[in-house]
């Protein structure tokens, strides 16, 4: 990449942490390079809106280059970091190397399936635009299958969705699904009553939004129940299959059937760094 006379600061990750780091260095006497495998910043808090059709992906993505355009000491490099050679102070990229004087890692996090990584193929996470559009496709396809389903038991399964994790994303996702079924789509189908859709929100802890105050948790619970969401707290997920989610509450196991026409379980809230 060439030898520069100024100090080289490399920031890995164009999310909130990476962008805050970039902007805090706008007056630094250094050359700043922002590296990300995508060339856009994603406003992840609104992914649930994309997943339920309220927003398009373009509404929550902004080009990284435009965000730092006025910051003359900064450039954006679209690349994937393969490894770090700390001894040589160099990043190993998918198409070369990048030397650094100071390295800031803000690459984000990934989902934690608690030792059951095979569930990731069934219970879609909600972290990328691809995740959101996959969920939207599966959700809308479920209503389409329900419209032509004549078996009452299978109809109930098609209209059952399971959201795993009662953090902010899980709460928002469950609420948005309920609004989609009970308000947005209520007049769009002729053979089914979308208001009969069941949304189950499963949380292993004793309350929703555990990192927030108990008052806020109680208000979230009340709001979800008013929307018709079945909130299951102190409930562990013990198995996920394409057509069911098995949960355990105080030793009592039960199976929530959620259709065989594609995964209807969503894993939006549990992540690890």
Are the C-beta atoms of residues 100 and 93 closer than 8 Å to each other? no
CATH number for domain 111-272, candidates 3.30.470.10, 1.10.3720.10, 3.50.50.100, 3.40.50.720: 3.50.50.100
Same fold, 7-108 and 111-272: yes
Residue for token pair 């509450």 = 249
Residue for token pair 């709001």 = 223
Q: What are phi and psi of 21, to 5 degrees?
A: -65, -45
SS3 track for 152-192: HHHHHHHCEEEEECCCHHHHHHHHHHHHHHHHHCCCCCCCC
What percent of the chain stands above pLDDT 90?
A: 84
**What residue ranges do the domains of the chain occupy?**
7-108, 111-272
Catalytic residue among 149, 158, 172, 203: 172
pLDDT, tens digit, 9 for 90 and up, residues 105-144: 999 887 778 788 888 888 888 999 999 999 999 999 999 9
- Residue 80 is among the residues annotated as catalytic for this protein: no
pLDDT, tens digit, 9 for 90 and up, residues 210-240: 999 999 999 999 999 999 999 999 999 999 9
CATH topology of domain 7-108: FAD/NAD(P)-binding domain (3.50.50)
């Amino acid at each position: 990449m060439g030898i520069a006379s100024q100090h080289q600061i490399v920031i890995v990750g164009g999310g909130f942490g990476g962008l805050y780091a970039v902007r805090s260095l706008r007056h630094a006497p250094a050359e700043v390079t922002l590296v990300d495998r995508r060339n856009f910043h994603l406003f992840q808090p609104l992914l649930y809106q994309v997943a339920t059709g309220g927003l398009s992906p373009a509404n929550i993505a902004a080009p990284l280059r435009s965000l730092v355009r006025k910051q003359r000491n900064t450039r954006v490099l679209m690349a994937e970091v393969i490894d770090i050679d700390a001894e040589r102070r160099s990043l190993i990229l998918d198409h070369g190397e990048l030397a650094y004087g100071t390295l800031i890692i803000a690459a984000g996090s990934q989902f934690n399936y608690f030792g059951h990584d095979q569930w990731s193929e069934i219970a879609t996470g909600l972290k990328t635009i691809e995740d959101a559009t996959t969920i939207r496709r599966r959700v809308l396809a479920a209503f389409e299958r329900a419209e032509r389903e004549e078996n009452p038991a299978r109809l109930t399964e098609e209209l059952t969705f399971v959201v795993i994790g009662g953090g902010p994303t899980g709460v928002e996702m469950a609420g948005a699904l309920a609004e989609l079924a009970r308000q947005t789509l209520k007049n769009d189908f002729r053979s089914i009553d979308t208001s009969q859709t069941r949304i189950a929100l499963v949380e292993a802890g004793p309350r929703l939004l555990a990192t927030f105050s108990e008052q806020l948790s109680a208000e979230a619970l009340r709001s979800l129940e008013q929307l018709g969401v079945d909130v299951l707290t102190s409930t562990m997920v013990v198995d996920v299959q394409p057509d069911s989610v098995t949960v355990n509450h105080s030793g009592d196991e039960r199976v929530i059937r959620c259709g065989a026409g594609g995964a209807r379980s969503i894993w939006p809230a549990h992540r690890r760094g």
